[in-house]
């Protein structure tokens, strides 16, 4: 029975001592995990989504960990949107298909949040790409996302 409980804790991503598993977005923000970075300042980092809905799908996250938007300081929440706007404009200037955008953020399990570090999706949309419907894209290696990130970075104001 004890082995079963230990196994359940490990499967759930919780160390036996009760410590939560590492936050992947905190690791990216700290530069300890690989990501195709598009933008970085003292409060916000933006990087390519590894399972993009469309080419140019970027996540904008606060550098400081916050589980959801309800716990983000107001100035950082504002910065998330300001950076998302800059990135959307840069995506268009970079020549990626972007007739429109979805700016999406989920807060809490009931809302569909699966990574518990605040993140704002910037998803380029174009006619015929699922009509703005949300779906999970195929995983793409970071090395394949870097050229798109470079195109977007080059167009930032």
From residue 117, how far is each of 49, 83, 104, 131, 135 by CA, in Å?
14, 17, 14, 27, 20
- Compute the Cα dihedral for 137, 104, 120, 54 and give only its sign: positive
Phi, psi of 37 (to 5 degrees): -75, 135
Within 8 A by CB and 6+ apart from 48, the residues are: 35, 36, 38, 57, 58, 59, 142, 145, 146, 148, 149
Q: Which residues are catalytic?
A: 119
């Amino acid at each position: 029975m004890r082995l079963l409980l230990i196994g359940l804790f490990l499967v759930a991503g919780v160390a036996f001592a009760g410590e939560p598993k590492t936050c992947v977005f905190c690791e990216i923000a700290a530069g300890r995990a690989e990501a195709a970075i598009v933008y970085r300042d003292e409060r916000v980092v933006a990087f390519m989504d590894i399972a993009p809905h469309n080419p140019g799908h970027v996540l904008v996250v606060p550098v400081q960990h916050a589980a959801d938007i309800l716990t983000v300081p107001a100035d950082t929440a504002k910065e998330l949107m300001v950076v998302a706007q800059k990135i959307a404009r840069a995506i268009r200037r970079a020549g990626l298909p972007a007739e429109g955008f979805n700016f999406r953020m989920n807060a809490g399990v009931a809302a569909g949040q699966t990574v518990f570090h605040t993140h704002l999706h910037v998803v380029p949309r174009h006619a015929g790409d699922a009509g703005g419907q949300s779906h999970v894209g195929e995983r793409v290696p970071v090395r394949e996302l870097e050229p798109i990130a470079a195109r977007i970075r080059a167009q930032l104001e």
